[in-house]
Structure 1
Amino acid sequence: MRFLLSTIGSRGEAQPVTALAVRLRELGNDVEVVAPPDFEELVTGNGIGFTPVGPNLRTATAVKTTPDDLRRLVEESVREQFRVVTRAADRADVLVAGGALQHATRSVAESIGAHYVYASFCANTLPSPHHAPPAMLGRVPVNGTPEDNLAQWDRHRHYFTSSRDTLNAERAKLGLAPIDDVRDHIFGDSPWLAADPVLGPWPGPGDLVQTGAWLLDDHRPLSPDLEAFLDDGEPPVYFGLGSMRGTPDMASQAVEAARELGRRVVLQRGWADLELTDDAKDCITIGEVNQQALFRRTAAIVHHGGAGTTTTAAAAGRPQVVLPHMYDQYYWGSQVERLNIGRSATAVTAEVLAEALGLTEEAAEVATQVRTDGARAAAERLMALQFD
């Protein structure tokens, strides 16, 4: 079978999509991934065909935009997605949209008669009366009654409205009828949830396909400098914000909090280019790293609350401190609190870090329950679609 997997998100979406692609290829399928150019090495390094879409995210997200700029960028993104996905989907049997704002994938699947699957990486990005929508454009919804939550989901449709005219113009070029509700069109009739059922269970209503998180096996060795640092003392505290635009103050606060507790620090630069303020030997700065290997050798993990990092930290059995910035990260912070495997906070303090470190046993217990076969389960289920 031929599969096209598409995302326009950051590494938190590109990495699980790549994990699924790897499993599909292992099962003998032809697979292509469409993703932002930032992730070409990630995809091709795993032996998967790659087609870039849109701008380089690391550069684009560093530029502040006005509301008018944002509307223009959305229109450009929709047109670009249709152009790229239409070309890449030639003869595909199944098209999978990984994550939000996948405006073109379902329409292209419809135009060529292929199966379409929308996959979310977090339960609270799918409508339910049991949780509020994710944070959008700086607004952080708060969970309320089922009626309150449904009202918030109704308002959530507004974020997709600005793309409707452009989307319908592109559908017309494919000979397709216009659609009215962009969000529900993207989600489809039977969305999948690629999240761990212990960390992020689907609350209902009804059942949906929850495969478990799509984890990419990482066999990269740690650098000699990092190995030497880890071997030279007690397990350190990890601090990293991934693709978030953190500030130097956040890094210095984390280092200060760890030092108050007599802990060393591994600081990942990330897209914020975080750096240490001194050259003391109790800290080390690193770049891109095998988190699966590193996290198992830490005392605690301080991070932004992305789905992938939260799951990797949980699977490593280490307590977490989540510093949410946007979208689903507030949800993951609340799930870490619910399971009592860490804390969610606006800043790292010695008190918050000490509380998290006190949950080491709880974190180790939850780690035994985290699934690691989600990508394989999803791949096998996708292959079964030909028999539906």
Structure 2
Amino acid sequence: MRVLLSTIGSRGEAQPITALAVRLRALGNDVEVVAPPDFEELVTGNGVTFTPVGPNLRAATAVGTTPDDLRRLVEESVREQFRVVTKAAGRADVLVAGGALQHATRSVAESIGAHYVYASFCANTLPSPHHAPPALLGRVPVNGTVEENLAQWDQHRHYFTSARDTLNAERAKLGLGPIDDVRDHIFGDAPWLAADPVLGPWPGPGDLVQTGAWLIDDERPLSTDLRAFLDDGEPPVYFGLGSMRGAPDTADEAVAAARELGKRVVLQRGWADLRLADDAPDCIAIGEVNQQALFRRVAVIVHHGGAGTTTTAAAAGRPQIVLPHMYDQYYWGSQVERLDIGRAAKAVTTETLAEALHLADQAEELSDQVRTDGAQNAAERLMAL
């Protein structure tokens, strides 16, 4: 079977797509991943064929944009997706769209008669009267009554309409008719939820395929310097914001809070290129890292609230502090609080860090419930289509 997996998101979407690709390839399938060029090493390093789409995401997100710029970027993205996905699809049997704004994948699948699956990595990115939509363009919806949530989802639909004319123009080139509701077209009739059912359960209505989170088995060793730092004292506090452009003083606040409690810090630089304010031996700054190995050796994990980081932290059995910035991150902050395995906050304070440290037992107890077979489950389901 030939499978094309496509995403235009950050590492939080590219990594689970890669995890699924690895499992599909191990089962004897021909697999290709289409993703932003930032993730070529991630994909090819796991033995999977890679095709880039769009600009370098890290560079693009570092530049501010006006509403007009955003509309132009969306239109360019839709055209680029159609160009790349159409060429890569070939005679694929299944096309999987991973994450948001996958405008081309379903249309290309339709044009070649392939199966189509839309996969979400968080429950609140799929419409339900039981939760509010994700945060978009600075607006952070708040859970309300069923009627209030449905009204917010109606508003959410409008975020997709700006690309409708471009989408339909590209569909016409493939000999396909126009569509009116862009969002529901992308989501499809039977979306999958690639999230852990304990951390992020589907609230209904109805049943959908919830496979569990798609996790890569990361075998990379920790660096010599990092191992030496970890071995030289008690478990430290981890601080990292992934692909978010967090304010530099956020890291400074976290370091100050940790020091006040006598804790050391591992600071991951991330896309914001965070830096330590001094070279004291109680802190270390690192680059890309095997989070699965590192998280088991820290006391608290402070992060932005991405789906993958939240799941990896929970599986490691360590309490979390979520500092949400956008999209699904507010949801994951609320989930770690619901499960009492962490806290959501705007910044790290001594009080918040102390609270999180006292949740170690709850976090450890929940870790055994986190599924690690989500990618395998999804791969087998795809092969049964």
Give SS of 1:157's match.
helix
Q: Please give the alpha-carbon distance, in whole angstroms, between the structure 2 residues aligned to 1:340 and 1:247.
A: 27
Instruction: Write the mapping of 1:318-357 to structure 2, written as runs, cut at 5 A.
Output: 318-357=318-357
Q: 1:254 corresponds to which residue? A: 254
Structure 1 residue ranges (4+ consecutive) displaced by more than 3 angstroms after TM superposition: none
SS at match of 2:95: strand
Task: Show the counterpart of 1:162.
Answer: 162
1:1-20 to 2 correspondences below 5 Å:
1-20=1-20
Deviations 1:246-271 (A, max 9, x none): 12100100000000110000000000
User: Residues 207-246 of structure 1: matches in 2 within 5 Å?
Assistant: 207-246=207-246
Q: Distance in 1 between matches of 2:84 and 2:248?
A: 37
Gaps of 5+ in 1: none
* Aligned residue in 2 for 1:178: 178
Q: Aligned equivalents of 1:327 and 1:246: distance in 2?
A: 15
| Amino acid across the alignment from 1:306 | G
Instruction: Report how far residue 77 of structure 1 moved.
Output: 0.1
Deviations 1:50-107 (A, max 9, x none): 0000000000000000000000000000000000000000010000000010000000
2: CA distance, partners of 1:80 / 1:64: 21
Partner-residue secondary structure (3-state), 1:177: coil
Deviations 1:130-178 (A, max 9, x none): 0000000000000000110000000101100000000000000000000
Alignment of 1:47-58 (within 5 A): 47-58=47-58
Give the CA deviation at 1:351. 0.2
1:127 partner amino acid? P
Task: List alignment gaps of at least 5 residues for structure 2.
Answer: none
Letter in 1 for 2:46: N
The SS at the match of 1:32 is strand
Identical residues among aligned pairs (%): 88
Code of the residue aligned with 2:163 in structure 1: it is: S
Q: Distance in 2 between matches of 1:71 and 1:342?
A: 37
SS at match of 1:65: coil
Pairwise CA distance, 1:241: 0.1
Helix, strand or coil for the counterpart of 2:143? coil
C-alpha deviation, 1:185, in angstroms: 0.1
In the TM superposition, what is the alpha-carbon distance from 1:326 to its structure 2 partner? 0.1
Rounded Cα–Cα distance in structure 2 between residues aligned with 1:164 and 1:247: 35
Letter in 2 for 1:243: S
Q: What are the residue-to-residue correspondences of 1:1-388 with 2, within 5 Å?
A: 1-385=1-385
- Give TM-score scaled by structure 2 length: 1.00
Q: CA deviation at 1:22?
A: 0.1
Distance 1:167 1:47 in 2: 32
Distance in 1 between residues matched to 2:130 and 2:356, nearest whole Å: 27
Displacement of 1:235: 0.2
Cα deviation 1:316-343 (Å, max 9, x = unaligned): 0000000000000000000000000000
Deviations 1:175-223 (A, max 9, x none): 0000000000000000000000000000000000000000011000000
- Match of 2:194, as an amino acid? A
- What is the DSSP-based 3-state SS (H/G/I as helix, E as strand, rest coil) of the residue aligned with 1:166? helix
- How far, CA to CA, are the matches of 1:365 and 1:130 in structure 2? 27
CA–CA distance in structure 1, aligned partners of residues 262 and 22 of structure 2: 41
Q: TM-score if structure 1 supplies the norm length?
A: 0.99
Matched position secondary structure for 2:271: helix
Letter in 2 for 1:137: L
Return the alpha-carbon distance in structure 1 between the equivalents of residues 208 and 167 of structure 2.
Answer: 27
Report the Cα distance in structure 2 between the residues aligned to 1:343 and 1:351, rounded to whole angstroms. 11
Q: What is the CA-CA distance between 1:376 and the residue it aligns to?
A: 0.1
1:281 deviates by: 0.4
- CA–CA separation in structure 2 for the residues paired with 1:261 and 1:316: 22
